[in-house]
């Protein structure tokens, strides 16, 4: 797993201090997930996914607090995306590179 350029330590990562970059990813919804129907849509391949706003942010995200409004019912893929884990750190680094290029 690549280490972020700034050597960000997993222990220092917190969703409460994050720009919620993971909340802009496509989230596939599995059959066993208990997501409210109004938050679901289908992608170009017919797969059921979390609905996103026009700007790409997940429709379940409270934009003021950057917290999930359906945390207890969030899809399994969101549950598996561990705070400070490899996927999280990779996505944070990708977000930083894009932000730095703007």
pLDDT digits (tens, 9 = 90+) for 52-86: 999 999 999 998 888 899 999 999 999 988 888 88
Q: Give the global pTM.
A: 0.75
- What's the domain range around 20? 14-101
In a domain, 5, yes or no: no
Q: Are 61 and 53 in contact (CB under 8 A)?
A: no
Q: How many CA atoms lie within 13 A of 83 on its CB side?
A: 11
Nearest to 38 by CA among 16, 12, 69: 69
Total count of domains within the chain: 1
């Amino acid at each position: 797993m690549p280490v972020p350029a700034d050597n960000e330590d997993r222990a220092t990562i917190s969703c409460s201090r994050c720009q919620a970059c993971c909340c802009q990813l496509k989230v596939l919804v599995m059959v066993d997930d208990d997501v409210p129907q109004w938050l679901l849509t289908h992608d170009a391949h017919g797969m059921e996914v979390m609905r996103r706003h026009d700007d790409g942010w997940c429709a379940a995200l409270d934009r003021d607090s950057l917290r999930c409004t359906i945390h207890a019912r969030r899809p399994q893929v969101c549950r598996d995306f561990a705070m400070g884990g490899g996927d999280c750190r990779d996505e944070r680094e990708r977000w930083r590179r894009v932000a730095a290029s703007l």
